[in-house]
Amino acid sequence: MGSVGKRTMHGEYKMPGGKLVVIDLDVFNGRLANVQLSGDFFLEPDSALLAINAMLTGQPAHADEATLATTLHNALPADVMMYGVSPCAAPCTRVPTHDAHRVA
Amino acid sequence: MMRTEWRDHDWKLIHTLPQSPSLHMALDDVLTHEVGAGRRPATLRIWEWAAPAVVIGRFQSLRNEVDAEAAQRHGIQVVRRVSGGGAMFIEPGNTITYSIYAPLSLIKDMSFQEAYAFMDAWVIAALGELGIKAWYQPLNDITSAGGKIAGAAQAHRGGAVLHHVTMAYDIDTTKMLDVLRIGREKLSDKGTTSAAKRIDPLRSQTGLPRKAVIARMIAIFRRLHGLSDDCLQAGELADAEALAQSKFASATWLADVP
């Protein structure tokens, strides 16, 4: 038990007037496991969801927001387009008024 | 790839008899693919529903969004669509749903936000002619003084864009809130009181039967962009029926995000 036990966690964040982002995961031996991102956001291509889940899996449970955001940002292919779920280094507390992700 | 205009495409209309929720999901998949491959011209498809359904977005958690027990009790089929966005509650006759399938060139160089508003400009015009002042609320809502009218979603596949929209004609919110877990939060967020028994912005603001609203929408699309009547090709329907069975009616796809 304690730090070596499994903890199941669930978090939800709704951007004001915007999209809901949900994360379900386990913390096992101090690392993120069984990470499942979900919500009413948009992602192209849809396979990026699996990539995001895979990248977060195994990260240290104590990693801060900026570290996780940078990890995602660096690992996702450049052609991935997101709306309502973009990783950012600063807390995402606002709805983007425009997005830089354009159709190729 | 050059940017194209609406009138560069030979728009086809498909408006057929009511179909099952899983077949609708499959038709969107197949027709997007056919347009992307150049085997079908750009197409507007108006949906008719054979059965009540909850349609969840591509990335939504099934258990988080849907009360499975309540859905079963009400005889509502739950399906997952290919595009992102939020859950829709459908009963035959209570919504107007349509899909637009077009080559990606139509929205080339547009941001998500621009592309949504662009694909539905004809609907905003149609609503105006029906006496409803409506506007786009980024990213993907059409709203009016009488409340939210519609939600849109897009997906890009193999050279084509799928843009589909569900408009509230006359929705019984009691049943909807029974089945959708986050219904209440979404309603409050959209500025609609959760005590409202019906969401009927189209019915109450036009005073027209659903069929008449659809006829006016088709007429305005035809006038603005050109549109000729078409039907599903036998091969398209066969492909969609097979895909409905193998993928969209399967528990694996439905629980792809558990």
A78 assigned to some structural domain = yes
| Per-residue pLDDT band at A83 (split at 50, 70, 90) | confident
| Range name among A15-24, B29-38, B133-142, B208-217 with the lowest pLDDT average | A15-24
Of B64, B112, B154, the CB nearest to A38: B64
Which DSSP string do the residues of B12-49 spell out, in sequence order? EEEE-S-B-HHHHHHHHHHHHHHHHTTSS--EEEEE-B
Of B60, B104, B182, the CB nearest to A103: B104
A92 assigned to some structural domain = yes
- What is this structure's pTM? 0.90
What is the per-residue pLDDT for B197? 74
Tell me, yes or no, if A11 comes closer than 8 A to chain B by beta carbon.
no
Distance CA A55, CA A49 (A): 10
- The residue type of A14 is K
Distance CA B89, CA B92 (A): 10
Tell me, yes or no, if B139 comes closer than 8 A to chain A by beta carbon.
yes
Percent of chain B scored above 70 by pLDDT? Answer: 94
Q: Match 């629980």 to its residue by tokens.
A: B255
A86 assigned to some structural domain = yes
What is the per-residue pLDDT for A4? 60
For residue A38, count other CB atoms closer than 10 A to its CB.
26
Q: What is the CATH number of the domain that holds A66?
A: 3.30.390.50
A63 assigned to some structural domain = yes
A11 assigned to some structural domain = yes
Q: How far is A59 from chain B (nearest CA, A)?
A: 21
- The residue type of B258 is P
| Per-residue pLDDT band at B195 (split at 50, 70, 90) | low
What is the per-residue pLDDT for B222? 98
Q: How far is A8 from chain B (nearest CA, A)?
A: 15
For B161-198, letters b (16+ CB in 10 Å) and e give bbbbbbbbbbbebebbbbbbbbbeebbeeeebeeeeee
Three-state SS for B253? helix
Structural domain range at position A79: 6-102
Tell me, yes or no, if B57 comes closer than 8 A to chain A by beta carbon.
yes
Q: Point out which residues pair with A83 in neighbouring strands.
A: A42
Residues on chain A touching B112 (C-beta within 8 angstroms): 42, 81, 83, 99, 101
Residues in B 58-87 with any Cβ partner in A closer than 8 A: 58-61, 64, 82-87
Mean pLDDT of B136-158: 92
**pLDDT at B26 > cutoff 70:** yes
A25 assigned to some structural domain = yes
CA B178, B181, B183 angle in degrees (round to 5)? 80
Q: Alpha helix locations (H) across B37-161?
A: 62-65, 68-73, 112-119, 121-129
* Residues B78 and B71 sit within 8 Å (Cβ to Cβ): yes
Distance CA B136, CA A64 (A): 37
Which residue of B64, B104, B112 is the best one to mutate when testing the A interface, meaning the one whose CB has the most A CBs within 10 A? B112
A1 assigned to some structural domain = no
Domain count, chain A: 1
Residues 6+ apart with CB under 8 A from B121: none
Compute the half-sphere exposure of residue A37: CA atoms within 13 Å on the CB side of its CA: 24
Residues on chain B touching A100 (C-beta within 8 angstroms): 111
**pLDDT at B179 > cutoff 70:** yes
